Every structure is written in C-alpha cells, then in structure tokens.
Amino acid sequence: MDIVWKIVNFIILFGALYLICRKMNLFDKMFGSRRRGISEDIQSSENAVRQAQELGADIEKANELNEKRKEELMQGAAKQAEVSRAAIAASGEEEAKAIIQNAEKSEEQLMEEMRSRVSANAVRQVAAITGQVLRNGSFESSKQALNDRFIEQIKELVSAMPSDILNMNELKKLDISIKSAEPLSEEEMNRLTQIICETFISCRNEVDSELIGGVRMQVGDTVYDGTLAHTLDRLSMDVENNTRQSDKEMQSIAEGIKQQLEKVSGDIDVFQTGEVITLGDGICRVSGLADVMAGEMLEFEGGLKGMVQDLEKDNVGVVLLGPYSHIQEGDSVRRTGRIIEVPVGESMIGRVVDAMGNPIDGKGPIKNEGFRPVESPAPSVLSRKPVSVPMQTGLKAIDALVPIGRGQRELIIGDRQTGKTAIALDAIINQKDTGVICIYVAIGQKESTIAGVVDKLRSFGAMDYTIVVAAPASSPAPMLYIAPYAGAAMGEYFMYKGRDVLIIYDDLSKQAAAYRELSLLLQRPPGREAYPGDVFYLHSRLLERAARLSDEAGGGSMTALPIIETQAGDISAYIPTNVISITDGQIFLESDLFHSGVRPAINVGLSVSRVGGAAQIGAMKQVAGRLRVDLAQYRELASFAQFGSDLDKSTRYTLHRGVRMTEILKQGQYAPMNAADQVIEIFAASEGYTDDLEPEDITRFGAELVDYVNRTYPELRGEILSGKKMSAEQQAKLRECIESFKKTFG
C-alpha cells in the first residue's frame, strides 16, 4: 500500500513538475516577446529623440535666418518709407490737403444732417410731451382766454370764399362746424353767430378733448384753427421742413428748439382742407378744396407734396410728387395757396437734384436762396432782343453749318443711339470759362446712365457750372412730367439776373409719354383734351421760356436744346413736327451716317438754323459760306453716283471735294474745339489744301495744322475770336502758313 501511495505521489509530483516546466516555457516566450517589444520601443524613442534634436537644430537655423530676413525687411521698409515720405512731401502734399478737406467737409455734412434729424425728432417729442401735459393739466382760465382771443380775431379773418357764395346762392345755407376743447357757453355761441351771420343757419358746436384748448371753426372747406393741438402739430412740421433744407444756424438741439418755439404765436391758422377719396398709380382724387387753383401745391400727411392737375365740380385730380405708399383714402389734404415751386440759387450749381429740387447726390442739404414756380409766363416780345451772340458748341459741323445763338431754341432730333446726348454734353463741356450756367435735365433715363453723365461732366470740370436735374425711369410719371419745368425755373433765376444759361432737355419724347400716362389716369378723353392734342401746349409753354432778354429786362439769356427721339427716322410724326414748329431750327442726326463713321452724324439737308449767320462770328461766316451748299450737293450726288460709273469731270470733282469736307468735319466725342481752330481747319479744306490728301490723313492734317498755325501765327486766334471777318492780309498770311506746313506734312 505504501508503495502504491509512493507511486501515486511520484506521478503527481512528476505531473506538477511537467506543468511547471511548461509554464516556465510560456513565461519565457511571453516575457521574451515583451522584452523584445520594449527594446524596440526604446530604440524608436532613441531615434525620435535624435530626430527631435536634429529638427530643433534646423528650427534654430531657420529662426536665425528669419531674424536676419526680418532685419533686412525692416531696413528695406524703413528706406522705402523714407523715400515715400520724401515723395509725398515733394508731390503729394496738395493731394493730401484735398483729401483732408474733403473728409472734413463730409464730416461736417454728416454732423449737420445728424443735428437736423435729432433737432426735428426732439421738437416732435417736446410737442408730444407738451400736448400730453396740457391735456392732463388744469388751466381753465387759460382755456377761456384762448376762446376769447379766437372770438376777437375771427371778426377780422372770417370771409366767404367763392365756393361759399356759390353754396349760399344755390342751397340758401352754409354749413359751419365749430369744435372746441370744452363746450362753449351760450354767450360765446351767440357772439360767434352774430359774427358769422344769421344766414348760416346750420351751425353746431362739438366738443373734442384732443384739441387741448382753443376753438376750431370750419366754414365749408375753410378752416380757422386756433387750437393748441394744431399749433403743436404745425411746430413739428415746420421744424422738420426747415431742417431738411439745411439750417446751418442750428448750432445745437436746444438752439433749434428755441428758434422754433420763438416763432409760435396764438394767431389763428386759416387754411382749406379736403379728403382723399381715391388713390392709385401716382394719382389721387380729393373731395372738397372747391377754391383750389390749377397747378397749386397741396400738402398730404407725412410731408408729401401733390400738384392739382384736373379740376372737376365735385373733386380735383392731383398728381403725387413722391412716394405715396403711406397715403390712404380718407386722409386729410391741405391747400398751400402756392403754385408748385422749386428751390433756386447759386448753391444749386454743381449739384444733382430731383424734379422737386431735393438733392440726390449724397452731398448733404442745399441752402437755397428762394423758390420759383415751375410754371411761369414766357418773356413778352417787348422784353426780348434779337439773337446775335454765338453759343459755341465746340463742334465744327454745328458751329459752321447750323450755328446756335444765345437765347435760341435748337432741336436735336434723331433715332436712338445716334449721338444726341453726346452733342449736348460736348456743348456743356465747351462752356468752361465762358460764364454760361448749364442745366442738364435727364428725363426717363436709367440711373446708371445719369450717373455716367455726371461722372463724365465732373471729369472735365463741367460740374463746377452745371446743375443736373434727374428724373430717372424709375420715378413716377408726375416727376418725369414736371422735371423740364423745374429745370427751366432754375435757369430763369440766373437769366433774370443777367446771366447766360444753356439748358438741355434729354429728352422730351419721354416727357410726352409720361404726360400721356397722367392724362389717361386722370380719365381725360384721348384727343384734343389730352394726349396727343395737348402735347403741343405741353412743349410750347416750356420752350417759349427760352429767350434773350433786353437790357431793360436784365439782359440775360436762356438757350434751350431739346432732344426728341424719332422712330426709324420719321420726323413727320406728331411730336417731332410739333417741336420743330416751336423751335428755331433742328439738328437732324441720321442713323446711316452714324453707322458709316460720320460723327457727329448730322444730315445737312434736313438740319437748319433759323437764326443762321446772325449767331456766327465773322470769320466763321466767311469761311463756311459755301460749305453747307457743297456738302448738300455732295450728299445728293453720292446717293446717285452709286448706280453708275460714267461720271463727268465736274461730278467727280464734287464727290472728291465732298469726301474731304466730310472728313474735316468729323470730330471725336468729348473733344470740343475752339472757334479759331475750327476756322483754320475749315479754311484749309475750303481753299483746296486737302484735295490732294488721302481721306484717312485729313484728321491728322487738321490737328497738326492747327498746332503749327498757333505757333507761327499766334495773334490770329485773338483776331478771329474778336468777331470780325478776316482781312485780305490775314487770309494771305494764313495761306502762307498752310503752304509752309504742307511742305513738312508727311
């Protein structure tokens, strides 16, 4: 048994030893792989440390290089800054001053606008708070004093208007309403009744606590308002209107409020009111206002202005001059008693304004010197004198063939994209340093186009003497309709002060279309009473205002250049024939000439100036005498010569000369010429000095000839501009200069 037990123990011990050995082998394998992994990690770490050390060394080198580069750049920048400062000190000081001045002006304008807006808002708040305090307060004695004062003043103010007399004759009565903050006593009502008259049998008294204090009486459409509520409302409106027009005296909010409060008095405000009954498309109908005048300016809520355009028995048609989205049916409308008017004055020069004279160029408000009605009578025949002083356009083809005089009305007519506006702008640019005030009225054009015109005028320095009246295509029809009249009113201000004015209407075709829209919206019958019948009067009363005044009337002048757009060259259409019959001549631009490269594309046969040589300087009249006839013959022959090749010598000579005369009259845009330079070129061509030149060399020949003559014969310019004809001696000397130049011309 012991042996068995020993054998079992040995087996167990051997098994245990075997298992332990197996485990030891596993441990060896496991720990061996772990040791190998650790050794590999240690090796990787050592490699990473080595790489980090190398990278650190590279970074240090890069930092050193960057520091060196930085020092070099700083030194270069310092040198460049020093050079720049020297350059600015040498050449840019004036420009820097101009920039600073412009910045100061802009800041000043912004501050003025902010002061104005804050002042208006502050006064409105003061008025609202004052009204609230007065409504909640107790001042019976003051209210009674207001009532007594109203009754005393109404004796002198109350009167029957024409519409009141008509109502009394037809209805045998006149309704009168009296509103007061508190019920009037029987004695007060009797006093008012005696003042008004026993005939006014329908007289009633209403109590309205919103009036605060005082009495408001309405006789028909006429309101006699002596209430505190109305006084506060008018105060707020007056401040807002004044601050919109640049009150430079308002040095502070408190000062602005003080100035307006000093103007407040307890006098009765007498006005007539009506009520909006229909509204739409820039047109509204207003009931009441039985005594309103045609063309009168009305006031709507929110400061919107309107012009009375249509008079009917029960209502009036009003065109709205501005955004009208806030207007609703039932709103009150107030008469102003003034015909529609626009601001005028020297401060308008250089600005871009809308049809009502409000600035739209972002340069702040305009301090105007007064107002003029947009519609005013044209000067009488006795107030005018003949047109005899040239209005130089700087264009050879116009100054030589269809001259324009100061006080003349010359129509520019042609299809779309034939250079009509280009002629007008060249004429404006050519008035620099002549003392002529220019007004450019843009009607129905894109805003981008108008902005381009303004930029072009500014780049040539022409905005220093130009006013731009803009009524873009996005404006409502009433603004397009009124814009030309507004421009004419601004020009008349200078004309009646003895100044010379050039006004461009670009273009009246769009004004006629806007007037047609207004007429149809006002439900006028198409025909004689509306479009197209009334368009003749629309344009005639505008263009007749252009004139040259006699010395007794002031001696100024206003030259009008209206522009009309034709359809496919049809100058026999209704509007073109109307304006042709009103004006003193027309410049007809032809599409075929324009596309063939003749610029300006003036059709000599259809263009005419009824003033003629009376508006030309003597030298121009002398050298351009036969130019018109020669060109007309050339154009006529050229149209027939294309059908046959067998031409006689005379015809070939006429065609040969006509080609060169046409070339000499070509002129680039924005390049107006002095009158003396024009005479030199036309003289050379008419005397045959260009007959042997190739057509493509004519333009260069003319430009170089003018430079040569002005250098060798400098006194000729003054002699030509004196207005006298060239003497035989002067002509001989000019021929000698041309012949001498031609020998050197290659």
Give the residue numbers marked as catalytic.
610
Among 301, 273, 300, 274, smallest CA distance to 287 is for 274
Q: Rounded to whole angstroms, how far apart are CA atoms 491 and 273? A: 33
List residues bridging with 471 in a β-sheet.
443
Phi, psi of 320 (to 5 degrees): -95, 130
The tokens for 609 are 């100036």
Among 250, 227, 225, 251, smallest CA distance to 240 is for 250
β-strands 437-443, 466-471: how paired?
parallel
Q: Rounded to whole angstroms, how far apart are CA atoms 461 and 443? A: 23
How many residues belong to the chain?
746
Using DSSP, state whether 297 is helix, strand or coil: strand
Among 495, 494, 486, 493, smallest CA distance to 407 is for 495
H or E element, residue 162 = helix 162-171
The tokens for 281 are 């498309």
β-strands 500-506, 332-339: how paired?
unpaired
Using DSSP, state whether 535 is helix, strand or coil: helix
Question: How far from each other are the two terminal CA atoms of the chain, in whole angstroms?
Answer: 148
* Residue 444 region by backbone torsions, left for phi larger than 0, else alpha for psi between -120 and 50, else beta: left
Q: For residues 177 and 206, is the Cβ–Cβ distance under 8 A?
A: yes
Question: Would you tell me how many other CB atoms lie within 10 Å of the CB of residue 153?
Answer: 16
β-strands 332-339, 269-280: how paired?
antiparallel
List residues bridging with 318 in a β-sheet.
284, 308
Q: Rounded to whole angstroms, how far apart are CA atoms 514 and 538? A: 11
Q: Rounded to whole angstroms, how far apart are CA atoms 301 and 402? A: 51
Q: Rounded to whole angstroms, how far apart are CA atoms 253 and 275? A: 35
List residues bridging with 217 in a β-sheet.
178, 224
**DSSP category for residue 473:** T
Q: For residues 566 and 415, is the Cβ–Cβ distance under 8 A?
A: yes
Q: Rounded to whole angstroms, how far apart are CA atoms 354 and 482? A: 10
- The beta strands (E) that lie in 547-681 are given as 557-565, 585-589, 608-609
Among 421, 393, 399, smallest CA distance to 594 is for 421
Among 668, 675, 603, smallest CA distance to 393 is for 675
**Sequence-distant (≥ 6) Cβ neighbours of residue 114 within 8 angstroms:** none
For 31-55, letters b (16+ CB in 10 Å) and e give eeeeeeeeeeeeeeeeeeeeeeeee
- The beta strands (E) that lie in 281-369 are given as 283-288, 296-299, 305-311, 315-320, 332-339, 341-344, 352-353
Q: Rounded to whole angstroms, how far apart are CA atoms 112 and 132? A: 30
Helices (H) and strands (E) in the chain, counts: 22, 20
Q: List, edge to edge, every strand of the sheet that includes 352-353.
A: 352-353, 466-471, 437-443, 500-506, 557-565, 411-414, 585-589, 608-609
Q: For residues 405 and 611, is the Cβ–Cβ distance under 8 A?
A: yes
Q: What is the CA radius of gyration of the chain?
A: 43
The tokens for 474 are 């996005």
